[in-house]
Amino acid sequence: MKTKNLCTPPFQVTTFRDGQAVIIETLETEVAARTRFSSAVELCSALDNAHAHKVELRAGAANLLDSWASVGPDVPERVGAEEQVA
């Protein structure tokens, strides 16, 4: 039986289209999560600009590590977690 490391939260990559989460992936390591995040950003960048796309990388449920969004036709925006101070 495998034992999970409960000290390290799983990482989550969420892809949004027009504000609705359409793909939610949970990954075990930060390396895998950052690789998937980059892949999702590349895919969304190549999609049509008629829809708003957003990708978020989180550690656990609340800790936002990175975010990318297309905010309009041909206007991608990358927002780092450090820039999203409320």
Residue 17 lies in a domain: yes
For residue 1, being part of any structural domain is answered with no
Q: H/E element holding 11?
A: strand 11-17
Structural domain count of the chain:
1
DSSP letters for 22-71: EEEEEESSHHHHHHHHHHHHHHHHHS-TTS-EEEEEEETTTEEEEEEEE-
Q: In this model, does residue 11 exceed pLDDT 60? A: yes
3 belongs to a structural domain? no
The DSSP 8-state label assigned to residue 81 in this structure reads: G
Query: Whole-prediction pTM value?
Result: 0.73
Q: Let me know if residue 30 belongs to a domain.
A: yes
Would residue 20 count as lying in a domain? Answer: yes
User: Per the domain annotation, does 5 fall within a domain?
Assistant: no
Q: Is residue 15 within 8 Å of 21, Cβ to Cβ?
A: yes
How far apart, in Å, do the first and last CA atoms of the chain sit? 42
Boundaries of domain holding 74: 11-83
> Average pLDDT for residues 7-19, to the nearest whole number?
88
